[in-house]
Amino acid sequence: METVAQAFLGQRMACARCHKHPFDKWSTDDYWNFAAFMGKVGTRGGTVEGEEFLVYEPGGNVINQSVTGKRGRVALPTLLGEKQPLAIANIQAKPGMEPDVLDAFAKWCTAPDNTFFARATVNRLWSHYLGRGIVHPVDDMRVTTPVAVPGLLEALSKELIESNFDIRHITKLILNSRTYQTAAEPNATNTLDDKFFSRFYPRPMLGQVFLDVLNEATGSQERFGDYPVETKAKQLSLPVGSYFMDTFGRSHREFLAELEPKLEPTLVQTLHILNSAYVNNKLRDGNGVVAELIKDTKLSDAQRVDALYLRTFCRLPEASEKAAVMKVVDAASNKSEVLQDLLWALVAAREFTFIS
C-alpha cells in the first residue's frame, strides 16, 4: 500500500503506520484502512527461485496494527480522505467472486474529483522534463509541502483529468511551453533561482539514458542480458546488472526510501568515466565511431574532429576550440589514439553529460 500511495498518489504514508503522521493529516486508522485494500492480495512462490506470483486470497484481510487507534480490529477498506469505509455491498461482483475492492480503488484514482492521482501524475511529468517537481519531492505531497508555483499544479491536473488522462496531452503542453524552452544560461535576475523555473536547470541524465547516449555517441553496441541486441538501456523493463547504471544513479526500485533515481554527482562516477576499462573500450571499439572515421581515408583530420563534435555536442567546434584541438591532433603520431582521447574528452565534458 505504501508503494502504491507513494508512486501513484504522491503520499508517503509510512509514518502513519504506528502513530499519527507528524507532518500530514493521516491518522493510523487512515493508514490501516487504506492498507485494507490490499487485504486480498497474496503472494505465492513459483517454480523458479525468486519467482513470486500475486494471487487472490478470498479470505484475506488486514488487521489494524497501530499503536493507537483501532488496534487489533479488521481494517475496513476506506479511500484516502473519506470518513466512511467503502460501501462494498454496492460493488457489482463477478459471479462466484467477492466484490473487487481494488477495482473500486482504481476507479476512485481516476475520478474527476480525486485530488491525489492527477496531481501526483502531472507533478511527476513536470519533474521529468524540468528536473524538479512543482511540489518537491515528487512523491511527498503533504498538506505541509510548499508548492513552488501556485495554480500550476491545479491547472495541469485539470488538463489531465479533462483529457481523460492523456499523458501525451500533458507532455505536449509542457514541451511547448515557454517555461520548458527557457535557456539554461543564467542572467543577473535568475541566477539564484532553483525552484521557480525562471531558467532551465542543467542536470545530469538518468543513468539509463546516459548509457544509451554514450553508446550512440561512441558507436558502441551493448547487449543487455538476454534482451535482443537492439534493446536500449532505457527499454529494459527488468533490471540488468550494470555498474555504470548503478553508479549513475539508477534506482533499484527495491526500497520505498530509494524510489527516485539519484542525480547528484559523485567521485565514483568521475573515476568510472575517467579510468574504467568499460568506458575506454567503448572508445576503442573496433566497430565504433573512431574506428570508422580512421577507416575512411578520404577524410582529413579536421573533418574527423568536426564529425566527433557533431556526434557528441551536436554542433561544430568554434574557431578557438578547433584550433586548440587540431594542434593536439596534428602533433600525435597515433591518430586512432588521439581521436579516442578527443572522443573521451567530448563524452566526459559537461556539455555532453548535462541536459541543458
Does 49 help bind other proteins (rule: CB under 8 A)? no
Shortest separation between residue 43's beta carbon and other proteins, angstroms: 9
Shortest separation between residue 31's beta carbon and other proteins, angstroms: 11
**Nearest residue (CB) to other proteins, 160 versus 261:** 261
Please provide residue 53's backbone torsions phi and psi, each rounded to the nearest 5 degrees.
-115, 145
Region from 80-88, 142-150, 160-168, 291-299 binding other proteins, contact rule CB under 8 A: 142-150
Does 190 help bind other proteins (rule: CB under 8 A)? yes
C-alpha span between 186 and 160 (Å, rounded)? 32
Residues within window 150-169 making contact with other proteins, judged by CB under 8 A: none
User: What element of type H or E holds 311?
Assistant: helix 301-313
Shortest separation between residue 32's beta carbon and other proteins, angstroms: 11
> Residue 26 has what DSSP assignment?
-
Does 93 help bind other proteins (rule: CB under 8 A)? no
Residues within window 20-39 making contact with other proteins, judged by CB under 8 A: 23, 39
Q: Out of 124, 137, 236, 291, point to the residue binding other proteins (CB under 8 A).
A: 137
C-alpha span between 301 and 118 (Å, rounded)? 54
Cβ atoms of residues 311 and 289 within 8 Å: yes
**Nearest residue (CB) to other proteins, 195 versus 223:** 195
**Nearest residue (CB) to other proteins, 99 versus 137:** 137
Query: What are the helix and strand counts (H, E) for the chain?
Result: 16, 4
* 3 state SS of 53: strand
- What x-and-dash track marks residues 213-252 binding other proteins by CB under 8 A? ----------------------------x-x--xx-x--x
The CB density around residue 197, as the number of other CB atoms within 10 Å, is 21
The CA-based dihedral angle spanning residues 10, 11, 12, 14, taken in that order and rounded to the nearest 10 degrees: -140
Region from 96-104, 114-122, 167-175, 201-209 binding other proteins, contact rule CB under 8 A: 201-209
Measured in whole angstroms, the distance separating CA 17 from the mean position of its chain's CA atoms is: 27
Provide CB contacts within 8 A for 295, sequence distance 6+. Answer: none
The CB density around residue 43, as the number of other CB atoms within 10 Å, is 10
**Nearest residue (CB) to other proteins, 124 versus 322:** 322
Measured between alpha carbons, how far apart are the two ends of the chain, in Å? 37
Name which of 338, 331, 333, 281 is nearest 305 in CA terms.
Answer: 338
Residues within window 51-90 making contact with other proteins, judged by CB under 8 A: 57, 60-63, 65
Residues within window 313-352 making contact with other proteins, judged by CB under 8 A: 313, 317-318, 321, 324-325, 328, 337-338, 341-342, 344-346, 348-351
Does 209 help bind other proteins (rule: CB under 8 A)? no
Q: Out of 68, 144, 176, 177, point to the residue binding other proteins (CB under 8 A).
A: 144
C-alpha span between 190 and 196 (Å, rounded)? 9
Shortest separation between residue 7's beta carbon and other proteins, angstroms: 15
Does 145 help bind other proteins (rule: CB under 8 A)? yes
